[in-house]
Structure 1
């Protein structure tokens, strides 16, 4: 072959290669373009889906289940279109960046489908319930009902029992949602195309909202047939806790009440001064109070008002039922105004409930005083401690104003619209989560649900963890807790012998003076520590306050065991305008040391109900380098062997620290 022929042959081959490359590049561009269009089309259809889900939510608010079902059907159709188109480009997953976007979109489509299926499940439940209601006379369906009270007792019962029967379906739906939620949370949003990132965020928000809804529905529907009085009238002992006079369960029980619930309605609510129960029993009741109450409160008999000595709310609630029964059923009593009732449960509420109800339903004017969210506590205290004298009201009638306010609020509750009822449900859940409302059920199956949802204020002590709970008991210090600011500090270090030494410290700042509701602070303070902890020393304990102990002599320290914990207790006092400190130092048991030796440390902190905002400071030096911690420290405390963390104490918090384990020499 001549040079000329070779040249033209080479040029021809190069043209063929160039043509092939151009065609291949064109195909790639076409595929990439089409796949990009698929992503864009998916985003556009996702916007339509979002609108249809919004339409479904609006329909549900109006109790239009058929309209909501139609909207979800439209949303499902759009999603199926996205799914069929996007899956055509699944082969592009190995392609850098674009493949990741397609994979993410496929995953988002799967998660969206599960979310819509769960919504469909909820709607199917609604359809079944409407069918059940039609069988008992509600022909026009729930959309024709403006308020629950419009339903006949038979309809209400059918509605509640139909919902209760669906709890297993709701639990399965929740399990599916949890799985999808975990998948979405592990999907790295930073690597997604901006539009997909928005879809991920919105879908995750939707799943969280559904999950939150199911978190409320499942436990409520599990107990509603019983608690709602659909199996017969239910009576609850209502205990109003005054957190200005802190007691172990959250406050002094100055007011009690009887709540009767029947067919889902509050049929009757009655409140009165707790002394109306206690006074007629004086000289008859023989129960003796715990020794610290004898020492520092000066009482020798144990009545309902002081019965909540245990910080385990179920234990105190059981004692309350026993005390109420004993004090109202003595044969020779006279002038007994407290009704004799067999209770099915106990409801403990803190003043925050009153504040939140006033925010929701507006100010209440009783005719003699106006309650607002801002003045609720102060005005109520003044009325029952001072104003009643000037108004010529008898001592045992001074708390009638509480009943007047409660009756006004419940009258508004009966007239509440759908939006207000939704706000009330969310508010109640928040108060339950914060232990401002606590529930005890006499039936074990009901109580188990309350404890599972952490609505009962029970002591939660894990025998494999470190644990710390501080419990203050105001003993003869009026309502001084409203003037006290607290801070907790919990520290752990290793001593030369390799033992873990813990210190639980409480700082008290007394910001008040002397007046009708404030005096020097007097508290018997307990620390609940891991079982087997050994006391080393206590600093700040007092024999009594300065009026009875002018020399400031140290007081005795009590050591005991209950609820699977070792308990240390001591008395202290703080003068107005001063600050005080009480600390307990003790050796942690061997099992905590063994946990640390395995490379892990878990600490549970439980906050006393009613104590309000308390700063919590942790300083944990476990003698080993820290690998990770949950929650993490702020960055300035990294790269050392101690865990330093400051936060606001919550009802129950767990701190988990992973430690470095050095290999043992062979």
Structure 2
């Protein structure tokens, strides 16, 4: 029997055939499929003109091959991801070290900024940035970052870590840009402002603002990402990240305010108060002179130095002065408005009187804010810029003679005889500003450090109506504001506030010592003794205004619930109203009424007394008071101590606090806590904790 060629054999053979014309079983029944359809075909190998149409070829082998290929591809992908994941994991240590270095550099930069040294901050950040770049380059060389992005579709952590790394890189670069702008502002900011190059100043300020926002947003994203990476790695997020984030938000808002002030079209006015600590007033010194600083497009357009009596001479306002001031004046004005320990309150009063004066009212001048500067600051500046020659006055001003020579010119010089007693300040101020702009790098760094010290002691204070500016100054203790006390307040608060009223220029020769001793009894009641000793060392001074009797209206600001037990050593003095204020149409100031009628100032109780000291003598004032609100006595109980110093006053202070029986102060590990300083900062705040023994 001849063989049938294989090419003629159908790919499907069936040994079960349905009977011709017979009944067909339903498809799929008994596991038998529907037979193929018969169609005529002359080419059938079985004859009779019929061929059996084959069923589709089986796909079992094809599907197996396709699945095997997919499986192999998946295994290869996973192997590749595993290999690169391993590389990523091996690089993780180096990346983390570099990210940690960046965070440390960021911390260092904050310290350098605090020290007013942006150059060092920039160098520290650039070093960290180089480490980050080296790690990134290695990752790109091996393709780690690209594979991590692909692998992240399967295992998201692979993609998140490189993203966190890029965030740290971007954050570091933004910090470098801020440091660069700060360095430029430190080097040339004053010159840009005073020489008319306001555009450059605004450009750097805008860069600081934009990068502060970037850092804040990058930090928020990085912090959110760190929680997703906890199972893989712990990112080096600083413990005080939230403080940093808040600070950058404040910086953004502050820069918005600065740019709005400096960059807005049209003229803006800022008052610059020259406070004289030779004649103390509660806000920091008598404002005998001031300057109207006109700003436009980031640059100083004008500097008009004036005697404070100029606007007061054109003031029609009738306001009743504080009672102690009625001994020397009938009406209140800008010259005496620096009467509150809280500088923002005093600044508002002074600005209000300035704007009410015809000098400014008729021109529609509105002051955006005020900056107060004590003469100590000007003396520090003169130490750096050198002597200022004033040929017209046959005088050379320097750090050693500035206050005395200016005072002499104001009190008895040619300028006073021609009716311009503060002209010497008007002539000297532009020269000093020009010298500041010309300082070399070493001089600018020394100036920055001195300014920082003056800020700490409250020798420079700020008030602005724009809350984005004022909130920044308040948050950093630069507003000269009295501390806000929490409610309820368990603790000690004290500020000794002096007000020279017709006491010459004697405060420059006054030496003040303050001693405070508080004790908490077994019921938790706080009893306090305060001693204020003032010595007048001007008996042999050259000029009469220094040898005069120091007539001082002193206020002790204490906790609001305090009850005065006794007051000794004060000077009896009665001040009567010089006129009938009500009959003459004078209005009362609500803050003055609150102070005098309710003995309240800035939320504190005010204990007022005259305290007069003659030249060559020492006076001692003693006050005893107690707080009727008992402190809860328990292990871990907290007691706050807040001591504030008056701007312009240099005093020695000693504070002692005795713990209640059966307790010690955890911070001192003793029953007694002591704070003592020859030159305390503007504000000292301490929280002490009771420990039961």
- The TM-score bracket by the shorter chain reads 0.5 to 0.7
Aligned to 1:649: 680
Aligned in 2, Cα 1:615/1:392: closer, same or farther, shift over 3 Å?
Answer: closer
Of residues 367, 373, 385, the one that matches 1:343 is 367
Aligned in 2, Cα 1:154/1:377: closer, same or farther, shift over 3 Å?
Answer: closer
**Counterpart check, 1:289 vs 2:317:** no
**Counterpart check, 1:570 vs 2:609:** yes
Pairwise mapping of residues 234-313 of structure 1 onto structure 2 (< 5 A)? 234-281=268-315, 284-294=316-326, 297-313=327-343
Deviations 1:180-218 (A, max 9, x none): xxxxxxxxxxxxxxxxxxxxxxxx9xx9xx99x989977
Aligned to 1:161: 206
Q: CA contact under 8 A between 2:518 and 2:527: conserved in structure 1?
A: yes
Aligned to 1:482: 508
Pairwise mapping of residues 362-381 of structure 1 onto structure 2 (< 5 A)? 362-367=386-391, 368-381=394-407
In structure 1, C-alpha distance between the alignment counterparts of 2:614 and 2:122, rounded to whole Å: 66
Deviations 1:289-342 (A, max 9, x none): 111222xx33221111101111111111111111112232699xxxxxx97621
Q: CA contact under 8 A between 2:337 and 2:350: conserved in structure 1?
A: yes
Aligned to 1:360: 384
The alignment partner of 1:461 has SS state of coil
Aligned in 2, Cα 1:330/1:434: closer, same or farther, shift over 3 Å?
Answer: closer
The alignment partner of 1:474 has SS state of coil
Aligned in 2, Cα 1:595/1:433: closer, same or farther, shift over 3 Å?
Answer: farther
In structure 1, C-alpha distance between the alignment counterparts of 2:441 and 2:346, rounded to whole Å: 36
**Counterpart check, 1:448 vs 2:471:** yes
In structure 1, C-alpha distance between the alignment counterparts of 2:189 and 2:498, rounded to whole Å: 49
Q: Tell me the number of residue pairs that the alignment of Structure 1 and Structure 2 aligns.
A: 509
Q: CA contact under 8 A between 1:604 and 1:652: conserved in structure 2?
A: yes
**Counterpart check, 1:385 vs 2:411:** yes
TM-score normalised to structure 1 length: 0.66
Q: CA contact under 8 A between 2:190 and 2:437: conserved in structure 1?
A: no
The alignment partner of 2:313 has SS state of helix
Aligned in 2, Cα 1:330/1:260: closer, same or farther, shift over 3 Å?
Answer: closer
Aligned in 2, Cα 1:445/1:126: closer, same or farther, shift over 3 Å?
Answer: closer
* Larger deviation, residues 479-488 vs 580-589: 580-589
**Counterpart check, 1:602 vs 2:640:** yes
Q: CA contact under 8 A between 1:240 and 1:349: conserved in structure 2?
A: yes
Aligned in 2, Cα 1:372/1:66: closer, same or farther, shift over 3 Å?
Answer: closer
Aligned to 1:191: none
Aligned to 2:568: 539
**Counterpart check, 1:437 vs 2:460:** yes
Q: CA contact under 8 A between 1:489 and 1:504: conserved in structure 2?
A: yes
Of residues 517, 522, 526, the one that matches 2:551 is 522
Aligned in 2, Cα 1:300/1:430: closer, same or farther, shift over 3 Å?
Answer: same
* Larger deviation, residues 259-268 vs 221-230: 221-230
Aligned in 2, Cα 1:145/1:606: closer, same or farther, shift over 3 Å?
Answer: closer
Q: CA contact under 8 A between 1:493 and 1:621: conserved in structure 2?
A: yes
In structure 2, C-alpha distance between the alignment counterparts of 1:307 and 1:410, rounded to whole Å: 28
In structure 2, C-alpha distance between the alignment counterparts of 1:240 and 1:370, rounded to whole Å: 20
**Counterpart check, 1:507 vs 2:533:** yes
Deviations 1:71-123 (A, max 9, x none): 655444678999xxxxxxxxxxxxxxxxxxxxxxxxxxxxx999987543323
Deviations 1:509-556 (A, max 9, x none): 1111174222111111111111111111101111139xxxxxxxxxxx
Q: CA contact under 8 A between 1:469 and 1:607: conserved in structure 2?
A: yes
Aligned in 2, Cα 1:535/1:157: closer, same or farther, shift over 3 Å?
Answer: same
Aligned in 2, Cα 1:147/1:482: closer, same or farther, shift over 3 Å?
Answer: closer
The alignment partner of 1:577 has SS state of coil
**Counterpart check, 1:473 vs 2:494:** no
TM-score normalised to structure 2 length: 0.64
Aligned to 1:582: 621
Report deviation, 1:460: 0.7
- Where in structure 1 are there 5+ consecutive unaligned residues? 1-37, 83-111, 130-142, 179-203, 332-337, 546-556, 633-637
The alignment partner of 1:302 has SS state of coil
In structure 1, C-alpha distance between the alignment counterparts of 2:304 and 2:483, rounded to whole Å: 33
- Where in structure 2 are there 5+ consecutive unaligned residues? 1-92, 139-164, 224-237, 575-595
In structure 1, C-alpha distance between the alignment counterparts of 2:683 and 2:204, rounded to whole Å: 35
Aligned in 2, Cα 1:156/1:279: closer, same or farther, shift over 3 Å?
Answer: closer
Q: CA contact under 8 A between 2:181 and 2:208: conserved in structure 1?
A: no
The alignment partner of 2:304 has SS state of strand
Report deviation, 1:375: 1.8
In structure 2, C-alpha distance between the alignment counterparts of 1:176 and 1:164, rounded to whole Å: 19
Aligned to 2:434: 411
